[in-house]
Amino acid sequence: MIKNLLLSLFLIALVGCAKDVVVKQVQPQRAGFATESSISQPSLESYLDAAESAWKKLEANPSDSKALGDYNFVVARICSSIRANKMRPWKAPIQVGSRSITWKPDPRPDWNPDLYDIIPTDQLDISGNWVDVRETKAGLGAPVVAKRQADQAHEYAPTPHFFYSATAVIRFEGSRAVLAFEDPLEKETVVAGGHTYPLAAGYTAPLAMVFEEMEPENLNLPRLLHPGDFADTTKLARLEIFDPDKTVILFVHGLMSSPSTWFPLMNHLRSFPEIRKNYQFWFFSYPSGYPYSYSAALLRQELDVAEKRFPMKHKMVVIGHSMGGCVSRVLVTDSGMKIWNAMYTLPPEEMDILPEHKHILTESAIFEHRPEVGRVIFISSPHKGSDLASNWFGRLSTKLVELPSKMAIIGAEEAKYQRHEPGVLQLARFPDSVDTLAPNNDFVLALKDIPIAPGIPYHTIAGDRGKGDSPDSSDGVVPYWSSHLPNSRSQKIVPSHHGAHQNDEAITEVRRILDLHIEEQR
């Protein structure tokens, strides 16, 4: 009991309390319209009447803001009615009074409406500690979430479902009401009724639904304490329909965390047209109890497979927070035999170890930089370790991390080949993640002296808790001397604790770097 309490306190200090994203269904309301749940609920025909009336007003005066608001509201209600009554206008026209609802054919296979459950975003209330603003864009159309079941593993879904942004638009052509779904991450304007409008969008709702379905509370601490039980949660995932012309931003979370920690940053970034135009979001999720050298090996394996399915035209930008920054550091490093020789007395081929186990050791200690990585942003990253991981508190905490039995066997096999240099953390077992965050860990000591591969720009962002005492600063977990990297293209100190990736100034800095990356790639 005491040990568990101590571990909890340690983890709170190390990564902060878990944040929640909560999505609830609500009943949208607008003056002049009855709510869908009322006794006097208007019929689908009445919705179409209202939509066409607003459409005609916009044709006459595209600046009529009330008509625009009415149009968007009733288009959302039409989508809701189609959903509730399981109608499929994309299969055959639906006759409603004197009109028919038809579908504008879309040649893109990913935009087949049969694949999706369409949910108007005005029916969603979004709250939680991470939700500081709901990012939307005013314009024509009803923003919706297109929820799709992920039925194939190679699709790289973040959760059992994809949640995409879409915007519903209905055009009136005589007696036909032609429904279309536009992609607000692909286009900024829409032509309707002879006029061009900004395309309305809701960027927050799909992200919120992804991260709520992820249930981070079931990932954060459990995946640290029992990583082997969550091996199948190791995944590379995409958050939007893949576009080879857009640069991938790969987000890598840290200790006792999950991809949901990136919600504030992703939410704000998507609100900027240049980001939407040039970037797409991916993330790497993994059990954080593994030593980060092994997690980096898992990420390399995931990238090898994913890039065959989704070949990229542009080099990706990797953003890592805390231990995720350490994982990212491995991606841009050529280790040669330097780390291996610092850790072991014999080369791999001379070790008497099971081939499968030797493969894990070599993949964790011998690696080359990934050529598909074009830039890295490190946020609150303990490149040289953290004293919290090496003091008595950290040593007690690491005893509660239960690695898979296979790793226990590997630890016993490799023990006879370890160097055991003076001053280096001595372990009689395979290291866990807390071990590899200790400043005197042999992997950390060897890695810190190897430069990042030439030609890959990198940036650092760190917190000083608002004290302004750099270079003697600390975010409360990672001191400046550990987060600082020589030859960084830029370095930004923000008034934040360890969660600097959620700090407003840090988010602004990330956007600046991403804009710079766009300019330098042109």
Share of the chain above pLDDT 90, in %: 81
pLDDT of residue 477: 94
Distance CA 334, CA 245 (A): 28
Q: Read off φ and ψ for residue 183, nearest 5 degrees.
A: -100, 105
pLDDT (tens digit per residue) in 291-317: 999 999 999 999 999 999 999 999 999
Residue type (1 letter), 503:
N
Which candidate, 437, 310, 315, places its Cα nearest to that of 15?
437
Contact by Cβ (8 Å): 126, 204:
yes
Mean pLDDT of all residues belonging to the chain: 91
The larger pLDDT score, comparing residue 154 to residue 141, is at 141
* Structural element, H or E, at residue 162: strand 161-173
Residue type (1 letter), 473:
S
Total number of residues shown for the chain: 522
Which candidate, 166, 129, 373, 125, places its Cα nearest to that of 260?
129
Side-chain half-sphere CA neighbours of 283 within 13 A: 28
pLDDT (tens digit per residue) in 448-480: 999 999 999 999 999 999 999 989 999 999 999
pLDDT of residue 391: 66
Q: Which residues contact 370 (CB under 8 A, 6 or more apart)?
A: 300, 303, 331, 332
Q: How confident is the model at residue 243 (pLDDT cuts 50, 70, 90)?
A: very high
Q: Read off φ and ψ for residue 100, nearest 5 degrees.
A: -125, 140
List beta partners, residue 119: 145
DSSP letters along 341-410, please?
HHHBSS-GGG--S-HHHHHHHHHHHS----TTEEEEEEES--TT--HHHHSHHHHHHHTT----HHHHHH
pLDDT of residue 14: 44
pTM for this predicted structure:
0.93
Helices (H), 36-162: 44-60, 65-84
pLDDT of residue 426: 86
- How would you class 122 by CB atoms within 10 Å of its CB: exposed for 0-12, middle for 13-18, buried for 19 or more? buried
Q: How confident is the model at residue 16 (pLDDT cuts 50, 70, 90)?
A: very low
Share of the chain above pLDDT 70, in %: 93
pLDDT of residue 393: 60
Q: Which residues contact 450 (CB under 8 A, 6 or more apart)?
A: 333, 334, 335, 338, 339
The larger pLDDT score, comparing residue 106 to residue 212, is at 212
